[in-house]
Chain A
Amino acid sequence: MSRAETTCPPAARPLWTFGLLRSELVTTLRRWRTLVLLAVLAAVPVLIGIAVRVETGGGGDPDRGGGGPAFIAQVTNNGLFLVFTALAATLPFFLPMAVGVIAGDAVAGEAGAGTLRYLLVAPAGRTRLLLTKYATVLAFCLLATLVVTVSALAVGALLFPLGEVTTISGTRIGFGDGLLRALLIALAVAASLTGVAALGLFVSTLTHSGIAAMATTVGLLITVQILDQIPQLHAIQPYLFSHYWLSFADLLRDPVLWDDLRRNLVLQGVYAAVFGTAAWARFTAKDITA
Chain B
Amino acid sequence: MEPASVTGEGAAPVIATRGLTKRYRGGQLAVDGLDLTVPAGSVFGFLGPNGSGKTTTIRMLMGLIEPTSGTAHVLGRPIPGATRAVLPEVGALIEGPALYGFLSGRDNLLRYDSADPAADPRTRRARTAAALERVGLAAAGGKKARAYSLGMKQRLGLAAALLRPRRLLVLDEPTNGLDPQGMREIRGLIRELAADGTTVFLSSHLLDEIEQVCTHAAVMTRGRLVTQGAVADLAAGARGRLAVTTPDPADAARVLKEQGVTGLTVAGETVTGEPPDRDLAEVNAALVAAGVRVRGFTLERASLEDAFVALTGEGFDVAG
Contacts and interface: CB of A to CB of B under 8 A. Distances in A.
A39 B115 CA distance: 29
B116 interface: yes
B264 interface: no
A122 B165 CA distance: 13
Interface residues of A, dominant DSSP: helix
Contact of A6 (B89, B111, B116): B89
Interface stretch (A112-120, A135-143, A197-205, A231-239): A112-120
Contacts of B150: none
Interface of B: 59, 62-66, 83-85, 87-90, 92, 94-96, 98-100, 102-103, 110-121, 123, 127, 160, 164-165, 167
16 contacts: A6-B165, A9-B85, A19-B117, A23-B110, A23-B114, A27-B100, A32-B102, A113-B100, A114-B98, A115-B98, A117-B59, A117-B95, A123-B63, A123-B117, A287-B64, A288-B59
A180 interface: no
B122 to A, nearest CB: 10
A176 interface: no
Nearest to B86: A123
Given A122-B87, A123-B83, A123-B88, A115 B64 contact: no
Q: Which of B84, B95, B115: most chain A CB closer than 10 A?
A: B115
Given A23-B111, A118-B160, A124-B116, A1 B66 contact: no
A226 interface: no
Interface in A104-159: 113-115, 117-125, 128-129
B95 A10 contact: no
Interface string A21-32: 011000100111
Nearest to B130: A1
A117 B83 CA distance: 13
A212 interface: no
Q: Which of A10, A12, A120: most chain B CB closer than 10 A?
A: A10
B98 A117 contact: yes
A15 to B, nearest CB: 8
B115 A12 contact: no
A52 to B, nearest CB: 37
B117 A125 contact: yes
Given A114-B96, A129-B115, 20 more contacts: A1-B123, A1-B127, A11-B118, A12-B118, A15-B121, A20-B114, A20-B115, A23-B110, A27-B111, A114-B98, A117-B95, A117-B98, A121-B87, A121-B90, A123-B63, A123-B115, A123-B116, A123-B117, A287-B59, A288-B59
